[in-house]
């Protein structure tokens, strides 16, 4: 499996407005976490799990730094840790932190930034060192693919036998993430997680877009422009979870020190859809959606094959522009607040 990092050289930072707008819906949960989080003595550590190139979490990191400062009697040194997979574009992350006008580093000389290039399904931080953790649009990415889907590129559309194998990996990933964070969090520490989800109707909002992408790839196979074997190997290792899947490790007592304080699964605004509804500009909508798709899923599907990626991009963009209403949907996410007890 290709490591499911985002499109590099800063492309993800430039094409991830959809994720940023959707994650903003978690602000109230974020504020509740920051009002309640226990603040231990000494230097503090906060983390952004699955940060990619980092621009989308600047706002949440700044908010956390400000709330922790307001709630501390004296000035605290704070380490902000950005974690992602080893092949992620950490260069763009660090350049952005130094140059962006909205970087949380500006005007905060007691705040330090670092990064860890290792899967968050592994242990990342020293025991009882993490005060607050944030993660958005990262925890639906799977640690491994047990198989490639026969007829689709996206796990939500898997056949029942395929779906079972994928669900097992996804379940183990979720448990591993939580178990490692339980070790790393301070007592009274908090996590806020925004993760792709299925609502009560089984919808994620991405189905029509994924069906269209799958159809474009199938057409390329039919035209002899993409090998059938290459298509068969294409599966995006990203699997949204149901409410029961989120709550299972908490319900059966596997994580005695963690409590699920809040879980909301809801539709969130799709920034490209809102812009299209206001402007009526189908070409702009198609460009927005294609940028979102390639930034997030391009590396998993196309790897280094830029010619195939570019051919797909032109076909996909044209197909969206012809019928934007077919794929314009709100994005379903789960927002979770998790508290580490004694
Ligand atoms: C869609 S991006 C989200 C980036 C950012 N958090 C945001 O809200 O826009 C998903 C990120 O999760 C990372 N990721 C996927 N699996 C991971 C894992 N096992 N460990 C750490 N990061 C992972 C990817 O490399 C990617 O950078």
Q: Which residue among 17, 85, 191 has the greatest number of ligand 1 atoms within 8 angstroms of its CB, and so is best to mutate?
A: 85
- Whose CA is closest to atom 10 on ligand 1? 138
Atom of ligand 1 nearest to the CA of 121: 19
pLDDT of residue 2: 63
pLDDT of residue 253: 87
For residue 3, is it within any domain?
no
Q: 161-172: b or e for each residue (b if 16 or more CB lie within 10 Å)?
A: ebeeebbebbee
Measured from CB, residues less than 6 Å from any atom of ligand 1 are 4-6, 16, 19, 23, 50-52, 56-57, 83-85, 88, 119-121, 136-138, 141, 143, 296
For residue 200, is it within any domain?
yes
Given a contact cutoff of 8 angstroms between Cβ atoms, the answer to whether 204 and 32 are in contact is no
For residue 1, is it within any domain?
no
For residue 6, is it within any domain?
no
Helix (H) or strand (E) segment spanning residue 212:
helix 207-222
**pTM greater than 0.95 (yes/no):** yes
pLDDT per residue as tens digits for the range 237-247? 999 999 999 99
Atom of ligand 1 nearest to the CA of 19: 9
293 CA to centre of ligand 1 in angstroms: 14
Extract the residue ranges of the chain whose pLDDT is less than 50: none
For residue 58, is it within any domain?
yes
Query: Distance between CA 323 and CA 342 in Å, rounded?
Result: 54
**Tokens, residue 154:** 């996206």
The total domain count for the chain is 1
pLDDT of residue 1: 63
For residue 272, is it within any domain?
yes
Question: The domain containing residue 92 runs over which residues?
Answer: 11-340
For residue 250, is it within any domain?
yes
Q: What is the CATH number of the domain that holds 330?
A: 3.40.50.150
138 CA to centre of ligand 1 in angstroms: 4
For residue 246, is it within any domain?
yes
């Amino acid at each position: 499996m290709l490591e499911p990092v985002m499109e590099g050289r800063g492309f993800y930072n430039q094409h991830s407005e959809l994720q940023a707008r959707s994650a903003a819906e978690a602000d109230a949960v974020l504020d509740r976490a920051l009002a309640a989080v226990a603040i231990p003595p000494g230097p503090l550590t906060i983390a952004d799990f699955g940060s990619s190139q980092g621009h989308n979490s600047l706002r949440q990191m700044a908010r956390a730094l400000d709330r922790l400062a307001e709630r501390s009697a004296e000035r605290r040194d704070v380490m902000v840790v950005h974690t992602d997979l080893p092949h992620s574009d950490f260069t763009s992350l660090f350049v952005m932190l130094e140059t962006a006008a909205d970087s949380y580093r500006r005007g905060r000389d007691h705040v330090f930034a670092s990064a860890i290039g290792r899967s968050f399904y592994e242990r990342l931080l020293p025991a009882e060192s993490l005060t607050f953790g944030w993660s958005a649009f990262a925890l639906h990415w799977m640690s491994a693919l047990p198989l490639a889907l026969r007829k689709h590129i996206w796990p939500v559309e898997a056949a029942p036998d395929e779906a079972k194998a994928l669900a097992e990996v996804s379940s183990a990933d979720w448990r591993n993430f939580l178990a490692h964070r339980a070790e790393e969090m301070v007592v009274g520490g908090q996590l806020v997680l925004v993760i792709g989800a299925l609502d009560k109707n089984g919808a994620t909002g991405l189905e029509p877009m994924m069906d269209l992408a799958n159809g474009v790839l199938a057409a390329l196979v039919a035209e002899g422009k993409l090998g059938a074997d290459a298509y068969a190997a294409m599966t995006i290792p990203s699997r949204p979870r149901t409410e029961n899947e989120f709550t299972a490790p908490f319900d059966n007592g596997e994580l005695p020190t963690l409590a699920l304080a809040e879980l909301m699964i809801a539709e969130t605004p799709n920034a490209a859809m809102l812009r299209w509804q206001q402007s009526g500009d189908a070409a702009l909508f198609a460009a927005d959606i294609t940028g979102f798709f390639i930034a997030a899923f391009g590396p998993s599907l196309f790897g280094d094959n830029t010619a195939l990626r570019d051919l797909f991009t032109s076909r996909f963009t044209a197909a969206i522009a012809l019928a934007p209403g077919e794929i314009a949907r709100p994005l379903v996410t789960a927002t979770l607040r998790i508290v580490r007890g004694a």
